[in-house]
Structures are given as structure tokens and as C-alpha cells.
A = this chain, B = another copy of it.
Amino acid sequence: MSFINPDEDKLQEECGVFGILGHPDAAAFTALGLHALQHRGQEASGIVSYDGKRFHSERHFGLVGDHFTDAATIERLPGNGALGHTLYSTSGETVLRNVQPLFAELGTGGIAICHNGNFTNARTLRNRIIASGAICQSTSDTEVVLHLIARSKEHNSGNRFTDAIKQMEGAFALVAMTTTKLIGARDRLGIRPLVLGDLDGAPIFASETCALDIIGAKFVRDVKNGEVIIFEQEMDGSISQKSIMPFEPANERLCVFEYVYFARPDSIVSGRSVYDVRKRMGSVLSDESHVDADVIVPVPDSGVPAAIGYAHQSGVPFELGIIRNHYVGRTFIEPTQSIRALGVKLKLSANRGQIEGKRVILIDDSIVRGTTSTKIVQMIREAGASEVHMRIASPPIIAPDYYGIDTPHSDQLLANRVADVAEMCEFIGADSLSFLSINGLYNAIDGEDRNDAAPQFTDHYFTKDYPTRLTDLEGNFALGQASLLKEAG
């Protein structure tokens, strides 16, 4: 048993995006917005600003708080428009060249763009573009959008942008900035979230409302699924707004995992408090699978809201039976072999006083490979629990994602590796194990069962029901990859 890192066996969101137009502190606010979105990507971050004459860019590996907090950096990003991005990185290797925002010089002036999500036809388009004589310098799928914009026959940059994204399949929340415009767009189904905010008249796009809260900006509304919103700054400084719906109409199908794990608990996603939804997941989970116990213990931090809801519903006391050490956030650990064998706990430790001699219900948000769950159950047993019951506030994960979430190969998912929940329980070593049902999940969010004919959410993780075509997966794009450049940094 190696170190317990409660985050390493989670699905990882790829990115957070932020853009603002018409505020003298544009870059500073973007840095703060990205800091609030840090949970959506910790590998790298970048900001591009435009000062009326030139674009300026700073891109760095590491946390926003490590690189964008001093006045000198912010001063290198002048202008009243700015765009920012935090990166986790799945498609495209992690090289500084791939760190967003990406930038291109077009005939109509420069454009910077950043992207949360994943295109399911990017490689197919990329091969086509290269074949026609273009050059690709990054391995980022987002570069494809830039090429499509560059090749559009439209004259107006807003129209060129719309022209380009109409060719894209998959999931995307895009924010772009030109010399006069700030553009936000969400894919046809609204798989990835994007909200519109306002700070003293300056429009803002952000992945989540928590990025508005940190700077005191007002939440205006969600960008709609399939909507392109274009803000344009006129000569006199005034800002006009335009909304376009370039796609065929469709109902929203937001990614359900935003509620399960990705979004911050204090964000409001599609009109729902994430914290409240998670408490209700815990509450429904209690209704579906409660057993007699002495204490409800969350796996921190992601299991806490569901555990509060579960405890409230079941009447069993909620206790911090596991303490999380927040000092290791960003450290690479390379222990000696003898220590690796010991099973030490760098991030989590059992709070023995709440565990010893007790029947414990552990609450976690999800199980991916099951490796961390196994270690946590063992730690709780070693701390003297008489029984350990694991309750998971979402259904078993059985299918990978292709919309910007880092998922392990299908055969690494615990639910696929063993026959049933009973064997999963055996694997993690618990006395019992239950998952929230798919209808339980839908009810916790919306008060209704899943509409199997027209599901309200993107939920392929649990159902294998992918909401879009998977063009690249169907095609053969391996050839184009043969000579991709790998760069260390």
C-alpha cells in the first residue's frame, strides 16, 4: 500500500476558463478568477491581455497562485480585456506550447482562445487541415479551431468564430478575445458549463460562478447550450452584446459529473447549488441503502456535503473521522521502498477517537479504480472500527469520457474489473458497499427520474449513453500522430 492521495483516484476535469472585457484591472481579475477555478486544472495556467495595440501573454506551469500573484506579472499584462485558462491536460501532451490561451495572427487581427472540453472530431479535422497545406505547431485540439477561424470566408471575426465552431463536435465551453470582442460559446448540448457575469458593466465569462464571487462580480445567467455571445467594444468604450444560436436546437444535457465531483460546492451550476445537490445525493443515498451505524464519516474533502446530507437524513451523527493534511497539495513524493511498504498516510489520517469501536459509514462521491477506497477502508479498520460500510453518492462508473475528462482505460475501472457490487465490496474490503442509483442521482438533482428517451444530463460514465458522435474514435487518426513533437517544457 502506498501513500493515500484521495485525489489521485478521481476523474479529473480538464480546464477552467475566464474572460473579461472593459475593465482596467482585467488581468488581475482574470488571475483571481482562475485561482477560484484552480480545482478545474492544476498543471498550468495562462493569461492573455489586449491593451488596444498589442496582445500580451504569460503562460506558466504550476498553480495560478505561484505565478500570477505579484504586481510585476500583472503589469506585464496591460489592457482592459483579458482571457485566462487553467489546464489539467488530457488530449495533447503537456508542453508549454499547448498551454492556453492559444493565439493566432489572422488577416483580421489577432485572436486568443481558450477551451474547456474536448472535440470529438478534432483529429479528423486536423488531418484534413494539414493535408491542405497548413502547419500545426501545437498538439492541442484547440489549435484546430484557430485554423478553422483563419480559413473562414467570413469577414467579421465574430462570424468567423461562429463559422468555425459549427464544424466542431463534442463538448466545449470556449472563450475568445479579438482586438475588439470578447466571445463566449457553449456546445450544442451544453455539456460543459459556462456562465455570464458582470462587474460594473464589464462582461465576464467563467466556467463557474465561484470565479464571479471571488471578485465581487454579479451573476447574470448561464450561457445557453448552443449559444454564442459576442461582446464588442466600440470606439467610445461602450460595449454591445449579441447572442447567436448557430446550432440546430437541442435540450441541454449538462455533464452530471459537474454535480458529482467537478464543480466547487459553492458554485451555482445550471441554477442549482452544487452543495445542495450533493447534500441531496447523500440524503437519497441514505434512503436507498442505510444500515445501522454509529457514525457517518466523509472522505474529505469531496465526500463532505453528501455525508452531511446522509447524516441529516439518517439521524446518525456526522463526524470528521478522517483528517486531511492540506500541506502536501503540490508535492511530488518519492519515498524509500521500506516506507512505501508501511502504508503511511501523507494526506489522510484516521481520527481514532471517532472511529475506535464504532460502526462507521464512509461516504465518498465516486469510485474509479478503487485503489484509494481500499486504502481508506484499511486505514479505518486499523483505527479500530468494528464495521466499515462504504456508501458512494453516485452510480458505478463503467465507461470512459471523451468530453474533456481524464478517465482511465475502461478495463481499469473497478466496476468493469469485477462481476458485481458484491465483488467490488470484497475488493475494497468493506463490510458493505452501496452506490446511489441512477434514478437516485437524477432525483437528487432535479426531483425526477431519468428520462431514458431524452436524458436530462450527460451521464455516459454510468450508462454508456454518449450524447454526441465520436467521429475521431470511429475514424483512423493514428497516422497523423506518428511524428507528433514531444517537448519537455
Query: Known contacts being A32-B346, A214-B344, is A109 close to B320, with CB within 8 Å?
Result: no
Set B54, B104, B326, B338: member contacting A329, Cβ < 8 A = B326
With a 10 A CB-CB cut-off, give which of A66, A317, A489 has the most chain B CB atoms: A489
Chain A positions 195 through 227: 1 when the CB is less than 8 Å from some CB of chain B, otherwise 0: 000000000000000100111100000000000
Residues of the B chain whose Cβ atoms lie less than 8 Å from the Cβ of A453: none
Q: Please count how many residues in chain A sit with their CB below 8 Å of the partner chain's CB atoms.
A: 112
Rounded to whole angstroms, the CA-CA distance of A329 and B354 in the bound complex is 27
Q: Is the pair B135, A344 in contact by a Cβ cutoff of 8 Å?
A: no
User: A336 to B487, Cβ gap below 8 A?
Assistant: no
CB-defined contacts of A454 to chain B, threshold 8 Å: none
**Which chain B residue has the least Cβ–Cβ distance from A209?**
B352
CB neighbors of B among A51-78 (8 A): 53-60, 63-66, 69-71, 74, 76
**Chain A binding surface SS class:** mixed
Known: A36-B325, A213-B352, A331-B66. A483 touches B105 (CB 8 A): yes
Tell me if A268 counts as interface (CB < 8 A to partner B): yes
Given A55-B483, A109-B483, A305-B320, answer yes or no on A36-B349 (Cβ-Cβ < 8 Å): yes
A residues 62-109 with Cβ under 8 Å of B? 63-66, 69-71, 74, 76, 96-97, 102-107, 109
Do B135 and A215 have beta carbons less than 8 Å apart?
Answer: no
Task: State the A residues within 8 Å of B (CB).
Answer: 24-25, 28-29, 32, 35-36, 38-39, 42, 48, 50, 53-60, 63-66, 69-71, 74, 76, 96-97, 102-107, 109-110, 112, 130-138, 143, 146-147, 149-152, 179, 210, 213-216, 264-266, 268, 273, 275-276, 301, 304-305, 308, 312, 317-320, 323, 325-329, 331-336, 338-339, 342-346, 349-354, 480, 482-489
